[in-house]
Structure formats: structure tokens, C-alpha cells
Amino acid sequence: MQIFRELESNVRSYSRAFPCVFNAAKGSHLSDQDGSEYLDFLAGAGTLNYGHNHPTLKTALLDYVQADGIVHGLDMHTQAKAGFLQSLRQYILAPRGLDYKVQFTGPTGTNAVEAAMKLARKVTGRETIVAFTNGFHGVSMGALAATGNQHHRGAAGVTMGGVVRMPYDGYLGAEIDTTVFLDKAIADGSSGVDRPAAVIVETVQGEGGINACSTEWLRNLADVCQKHGVLLIVDDIQAGCGRTGRFFSFEEAGIQPDIVTLSKSLSGYGLPLAVVLFKPELDQWQPGEHNGTFRGHNLAFVTAKAAIDTFWQNTQFAQDVERKGRRLSQRLDQMATRWGRGQFDTKGRGMFQGIDCITGAMASAIARAAFEEGVVIETSGADDQVLKFLCPLTISDAELEDGLNRVEAAMKRVTQGISSWPQREVHFDIATTNQD
């Protein structure tokens, strides 16, 4: 631990919540250098939807490396890139009737969001982007302006402009459709809201506390955008790649966003890869106008293609995720009722769910106790008040039950005030914060 404390910046975050040195992982399991085993209910904050080191993806990767395949090629044509694009078109875009061009950006989510916002502004000639309360879109400057969290915004050091904040679904109570206000604000020349270039939205706000919008609200939002000639960007970086069941989280709503961002689980193996998908008429970039050295990495193309070929050739995987999602909600509801006493509420959809513990102190105490029970699980939300269940989608039924039993044991310990935390000698850094 000493090397991390001495050399690694204070900005480190997840490592503070899990004070051990991890050294191996397989499927839904992690192990540390002392031989302790953990079930992974964090999954790289949604990056490991297919688990750690999936054997099929690993074989594809090892074969490619063994054959001296191109690892880095800037954005030049490579066979690996062609393979990825072909699979993306054949198994993801075409079956869903989606006609999108693909832009490779720098490899993290925030790079994709930057490119999406920049393209929307360029194409429309307008500046304003509408983002929502509790939205999280990354921490580079453009994306940070669209991110709501004060902790992250506070580090900007400059005034962030170009973004107008609107209430997300449910923000003003379940009865109020907040798209009505957006519609009015755009239509009214004296609302003070300039006609936006785009609206950027997550269908489930991951970092914002697992707030899932309804399909009706999402449809209404798409209608408002269309009515006013405003582009709709769905940021599917965390909710996409099957996390809510289908490949894209907006499929149930039957909408076709103008722009979609994807990253996290796109490579399927934890290798960094990000893309922006957009309607062909929006492809108004000049060559090299939005640049970057690592725009599409060939190792990530290889595993991304293998992931699509393995999981998305038919609907079986999506159906299985939906089935597990139903079981997850059932268990979380039971847990909240059993240990609740008005303290807990459940939220989310698919395999993207959480327990709202009302206070960050309660959620963090349970997450810490769960770690003692051998589960890696994190919190999210403005006060880190939501316990976030983000296990690999490939988790077995038995592993899922096992992990949930352990989290429930942690809830029991904390709510009954018998948590003997910390049980073993561990040293936590200053208070845990969710900073992805």
C-alpha cells in the first residue's frame, strides 16, 4: 500500500474504498495479492459487462498478438478495424434499422462526449447544449459542463459555459413530465434559454444515482427535440452494451437518437475504446478536424468484434440479462423491505439497479461491510447515497444469489448496528467518493 500512498496522486478514488492490491480476475471474481477472493459487483464501473478475461475474447486477443497484428495504427485502415465495423453493422446496427456513421474518438467516454457535443454545435451553428440534473458525462472541460455533480464541477477552475440544465425525469416528482418545461422554454423566445444545438441524456443516470427515466418520458424528449430541430444525443456509455437488457438502452422506447456515445463495455475486455454514432447527414467533419493519437485501438477492435460476435448475434443474451434483471429487482425489493424501516428504496432497470439508502453514510457503511463480506460494490448519487449493483451481465445465477446474500448480510449488520467494521486490519484513506 505504501507505494500508492507515497507516489500516486491524491486524486485516486476507487482505491480508497477497496484497500487491497488486486492481482487477478476471472468472470465475476477478483482476487488480491493476499489470496482473498471477491465477487465483483462494480465491474469496472460498467466496463466489464462480459466479466473479467472472458475466454473467447481472450483467445481472440492472444491469437492477434501472437500473429504480430497491428497494435497501434493511428486511424489508418487495419483488418482489425474492418472486422469490428463489419460486426457492428451486421449484428448491432442493421438489425435495429439504425443508419449511423461511426467516429472513433480518444478511448475514454469523456472523449466521445466531447466529440458529440462539438459535432452538434458545428452542424447546427448553435452553442447551447441541454443537460439534465444529476447527469454525468465525464470530466474533461466540454463534458464537465454537462455534468451536474458539484464535486467534479468544482475542480474546473474556469467558468463552464454552453450548457443549460433542465430537470430530469422524476426530479420534480413522479407526476410532473419535465419535458413540458423544456418544450416551453425552447418555444418561448423570452424564456432565457437560447435555442439549443442538442440535448444530451442518459436513459439511466449511473453516477447520478441510478435514476432511470421512463420510456414515455424518453419518447416525449425525442418528440420535443424533433419539434424544435434540436439534436438528441443519448449518452449510452454506461447504460449501453446490454446493461439494461438490449444493446442500446433506448431501444425499448423505440426512438432513434441523432447521436449516440458508447465506450466502457464496448471493447468487452476492459480495453479502452470509445465511439460516437451519428446519422449520416451529420457527418460534416473535415478530415482530421477532430483528432487524437489513440482514436480506436486495434487490440480493443479485436475484443470488441469478438464480444459482438459472441453475445449479440441473436437475442438470447439480451433475454438472459432481462431475466437476471428481474431477479435482481425482486431481491433488492425484498432486501429493502426486510431491512428498510423507511430507510431504503430501489431504483434502476435491467442489470443497472441500486438501493437508495437516503444518506451517503448509510450507503458507504453497507458498501464497506459488503467488502468485508467479500463483495466489491460502490455507491453513487449526489451524496453517494445509492448502493450501485453493477455486476457482470455474464454472472451465473448462483454467483448473483451469493453476492446478494453477502450484501444483504452487510445491510443486516449495518442496520442492526452490529457491524463490527472494520473487522480486520485495513487502512482507509480519507472518505470515499465516487469519482468516475
The reply to whether 110 sits near ligand PLP by the rule CB under 6 A is yes
Q: In this chain, which of 50, 136, 247, 311 binds ligand PLP, going by CB under 6 A?
A: 136
Report the nearest approach of ligand PLP to the CB of residue 327 (Å): 24
The reply to whether 436 sits near ligand PLP by the rule CB under 6 A is yes
Q: In this chain, which of 237, 304, 328, 393 binds ligand PLP, going by CB under 6 A?
A: 237
Of 204 and 328, nearer to ligand PLP (C-beta) is 204
Of 83 and 109, nearer to ligand PLP (C-beta) is 109
Of 105 and 415, nearer to ligand PLP (C-beta) is 105
Report the nearest approach of ligand PLP to the CB of residue 115 (Å): 12
Residue type, 412: K
Of 143 and 369, nearer to ligand PLP (C-beta) is 143
Instruction: Tell which residue, 138, 379, 382, 358, has the closest CA to residue 238.
Output: 138
Report the nearest approach of ligand PLP to the CB of residue 239 (Å): 7
Of 262 and 335, nearer to ligand PLP (C-beta) is 262
The reply to whether 263 sits near ligand PLP by the rule CB under 6 A is yes
Q: In this chain, which of 81, 137, 243, 305 binds ligand PLP, going by CB under 6 A?
A: 137
Of 44 and 340, nearer to ligand PLP (C-beta) is 44
Report the nearest approach of ligand PLP to the CB of residue 434 (Å): 9
The reply to whether 202 sits near ligand PLP by the rule CB under 6 A is yes
Q: In this chain, which of 51, 138, 209, 296 binds ligand PLP, going by CB under 6 A?
A: 138
Output the CA torsion sign for 293, 296, 298, 300: positive
- Binders of ligand PLP among residues 39 to 78 (CB under 6 A) are 45
The reply to whether 270 sits near ligand PLP by the rule CB under 6 A is no
The reply to whether 296 sits near ligand PLP by the rule CB under 6 A is no
The reply to whether 206 sits near ligand PLP by the rule CB under 6 A is yes
Gap between the terminal Cα atoms of the chain: 21
Provide the binding-site residues for ligand PLP, judged by CB under 6 A.
Answer: 45, 108-110, 113, 136-138, 202, 206-207, 235, 237-238, 263, 436
